[in-house]
Amino acid sequence: MKKPKFYQLTKDERLATLVEQGHLSQTDADCLAAAEPLSDEIAGNMIENQIGQYQVPLGVVQDLLVNQQVYQVPFAIEEPSVIAAANNAAKMARANGGFVTEQLTRLMTGEVVLEKLVDLVAAKAWISGNNDHLFEVARAAHPSIVKRGGGLQKITPTIIDDRFLKLELQIDTKEAMGANIVNTICEAIAHAVQEQLGGTLLLSVLTNAAFESVVIASVTIDPATLTTATLAGKTIAEKMIAASDFAKVDVARAATHNKGIMNGIDAVVLATGNDWRAIEAGVHSYAAKKGAYQPLSSWEWTTDQQLRGRIELPLPVGMVGGSIGILPTVQINQRLLKVQNARELAGIIAAVGLAQNFAALKALVSDGIQKGHMALQAKSLAIAAGATETELTQLLPLLLKATHLNTATATELLAQLRA
């Protein structure tokens, strides 16, 4: 008998396989299998007014090849087709040498804004002339990040609209995403500046436009490897490039192009305990940085007629801080990923985004998005209609043959099966 594929195994068999392959320890596998909720002590202390817990499935994308290293990537996601698509793209990319990533800088930025200053030009000059004092204020505000080799790196004062004085603070937050570290330093500098210059302190807070934490991932695909039963690989590649070009001139398409990318990115960001709202805000501000909202990735021919995809986006993710050290599943996910530091994690996440985009574009220009989606959507409909595990095996083939794949059909077919 043919060996079942990973996705055809039961959850316990999948966990056993990951243990066998050395990706998970038995203790971590047991912990995932037990699927215990957070203790009230943890959940109740993490947020205000806690009244329960909200479950999202955790899955894995296997063997994602990034910078010649193979990763098992945890995805926390409720949308049925995302992991299947990413797995498919991971497999194709692996056959083509995998993803390559780079990150030039990894800094967070904070803003301190004052208004109602008597002399904006003199105020700006004071900032530039008193950097040493302001750096000392920053060090005193957060000594532990300085001990770790990070802290304030640069202060840039700008006059905006002949009204505001903005100080842009670039801060190295090391292995943390750094929102709280940045905010602490911003507030200390804000008070020191206002004490000297007067005026009104408007705000001092990090910006989620983390444009100093941009990651680039790319992949090069031999078009022949894209060939399907009905379409030549070159035709698919040409259409993928055209679809990518179209997203550059049509905001309606760019939004969905980027949503497909975020399907994978948010799933890994969530699974690794990072702040997905921060990542979303940063990514979309980056997409709009030139004034018109743009796709985060693009596809083109190389000079030797290979299909090349490239994604560029800010990914200020952390390995420590926030809820990362508190949520037990996040610790397991970090161990499953075998990721050493925040830069490596950001590279993997960028590759995941490009993989997701690859899968979506390929499906769109060949079979259409619904073929793959609906097979998985049918499962969700059947479960929502109340089908048990045993009923699912009988119901799904019927549902997939039905003219209208919807809740009413699922309910009706289930009733017929039970009659």
Give catalytic residues, as residue numbers: 79, 259, 275, 373
- Does position 171 interact with ligand NDP (CB under 6 A)? The reply is no
10 Å CB burial of residue 321 (0-12, 13-18, 19+) is buried
Q: What pairs with residue 75 in β-bridges?
A: 59
Applying CB under 6 A, the site for ligand NDP has a residue count of 21
Question: Could you tell me where the DSSP H helices lie in 80-175?
Answer: 82-95, 120-129, 131-141, 143-147
Rounded to a whole number of angstroms, the minimum distance from the CB of residue 201 to ligand NDP is 18
Closer residue to ligand NDP (CB): 177 or 240: 177
10 Å CB burial of residue 82 (0-12, 13-18, 19+) is buried
Instruction: Return the residue of 111, 172, 175, 266 that touches ligand NDP, per CB under 6 A.
Output: 175
Report the site for ligand NDP in 98-127 (rule: CB under 6 A): none
Piece of 90-98, 174-182, 362-370, 384-392 that binds ligand NDP (CB under 6 A):
174-182
Closer residue to ligand NDP (CB): 175 or 212: 175
User: Rounded distance, CA 205 to CA 253, Å?
Assistant: 33
Piece of 46-54, 127-135, 172-180, 327-335 that binds ligand NDP (CB under 6 A):
172-180
Q: Which residue from 181, 204, 25, 12 is spatially nearest to 108, judged by alpha carbons? A: 181
For 60-78, the three-class secondary structure string (H helix, E strand, C coil) is: EEEEEEECCEEEEEEEECC
Report the site for ligand NDP in 314-333 (rule: CB under 6 A): 318, 320-323
Rounded to a whole number of angstroms, the minimum distance from the CB of residue 59 to ligand NDP is 23
The answer to whether 81 touches 377, Cβ cutoff 8 Å, is: yes
What is the DSSP secondary structure assignment for residue 320, as one 8-state letter? B
Rounded to a whole number of angstroms, the minimum distance from the CB of residue 407 to ligand NDP is 36
Instruction: Return the residue of 53, 68, 144, 230 that touches ligand NDP, per CB under 6 A.
Output: 144
User: Rounded distance, CA 107 to CA 104, Å?
Assistant: 10
Q: What pairs with residue 300 in β-bridges?
A: 308
- Does position 180 interact with ligand NDP (CB under 6 A)? The reply is yes
Closer residue to ligand NDP (CB): 44 or 368: 44
User: Rounded distance, CA 144 to CA 57, Å?
Assistant: 36
Instruction: Return the residue of 32, 117, 145, 327 that touches ligand NDP, per CB under 6 A.
Output: 145
10 Å CB burial of residue 101 (0-12, 13-18, 19+) is buried
Report the site for ligand NDP in 260-299 (rule: CB under 6 A): 275, 278
- Does position 152 interact with ligand NDP (CB under 6 A)? The reply is no
Instruction: Return the residue of 59, 98, 151, 178 that touches ligand NDP, per CB under 6 A.
Output: 178
- Does position 212 interact with ligand NDP (CB under 6 A)? The reply is no
Closer residue to ligand NDP (CB): 146 or 159: 146
Report the site for ligand NDP in 230-259 (rule: CB under 6 A): none
CA distances from 324 to 40, 106, 398, 415 (A): 17, 19, 43, 45
Sheet holding 164-172, edge to edge: 151-160, 164-172, 108-115, 200-206
Instruction: Return the residue of 181, 332, 348, 410 that touches ligand NDP, per CB under 6 A.
Output: 181
User: Rounded distance, CA 33 to CA 374, Å?
Assistant: 28
Rounded to a whole number of angstroms, the minimum distance from the CB of residue 190 to ligand NDP is 16
**Contacting positions for ligand NDP (CB under 6 A):** 144-145, 148, 173-181, 206, 208, 275, 278, 318, 320-323
